[in-house]
Amino acid sequence: MLTDTLARADEGLATKPVWPVAWPDAIDNQSLDQLFGGARTHNHWLDRPVPQALLRRAIDLAKMGPTSANTLPMRVIFAASAEAKARLKPALAPQNVDKTMLAPVTAIVGYDLDFPDRLPKLFPHVDARAWFAGNAALIADTAYRNGSLQGGYFILALRAVGLDVGPMSGFDPAKVDAEFFVGTQVRTNFLINIGYGDTTKLFPRSPRLAFEEIAHFA
């Protein structure tokens, strides 16, 4: 049984190095580092333009990640022009203004409360739209959870294509909604500054929780 397998795996840990290990089915350590352990949140940006095609590629990767009933509620506006940045600026918390104005692109990541209207296309084998009809709480919960999951996929997809990111929650979402999503049911979730980060201006990395503080086996 699996519990025995896990016990044996635990015994193995006592005598073999675990970190880093080259697992046969894992992607290579350099790629893992680009996505996770070596990547950093950036606040300062190199003077290096971001090709629009790379941002498209990141969206087309992120949309392949799983969502509940294939709801795909994430919506994104890439604010890259000076005009778009100026519209975004009044909504930003003071500590986020400079880094956002100087970032090559800022992604406004939202979720669409009208996602059920797409389900006849996205989940065609059952009437999934009917599950949500008239249930505003279920719609909001599903959109927020899955839109945030997709936000996680999107952050890693941006890193996967070679970009650096600086995600932010410090802004007034109602102001961003009113400026960018008026006439829709899209709600702003968070922002991501995107570019090529200036690694000379990074702070030391903040600590992380130990495995045992996050997870356990039952």
- Which residue's CB is nearer to a copy of itself, number 200 or number 213? 213
Distance CA 83, CA 211 (A): 45
What residues from 54 to 93 belong to the interface with a copy of itself (CB under 8 A)? 54-57, 59-66, 68, 70, 72, 74-84, 87
Secondary structure (3-state) at 8: helix
Q: Tell me the backbone φ, ψ of residue 162, rounded to 5 degrees.
A: 105, 5
Does an H or E element contain 107, and which? strand 105-112
CB 166 within 8 A of CB 6: no
Contacts (CB under 8 A) with a copy of itself, residues 108-167: 118, 121-124, 142, 144-145, 148-153, 155-157, 160-163, 165, 167
Using the rule CB under 8 A, which residue among 32, 97, 101, 102 binds a copy of itself? Answer: 32
| 43 forms part of the interface with a copy of itself (CB under 8 A) | no
Q: Which of 35, 46, 101, 102 binds a copy of itself (CB under 8 A)?
A: 35
- Closer Cβ to a copy of itself, 60 or 133, answer by number: 60
Q: By C-alpha distance, which of 189, 194, 191, 107 is closest to 159?
A: 194
Residue 185 makes contact with a copy of itself by CB under 8 A? no
Q: Does 100 bind a copy of itself (CB under 8 A)?
A: no
**CB 44 within 8 Å of CB 198:** yes
Q: Nearer to a copy of itself by C-beta: 121 or 200?
A: 121
Which residue number, 125 or 200, has a Cβ lying nearer to a copy of itself? 125
* Contact call for residue 101 and a copy of itself (CB under 8 A): no
Q: Which helix (H) or strand (E) holds 76?
A: strand 74-79
Compute the distance between CA of residue 57 and CA of residue 102 in angstroms, rounded to an integer. 23
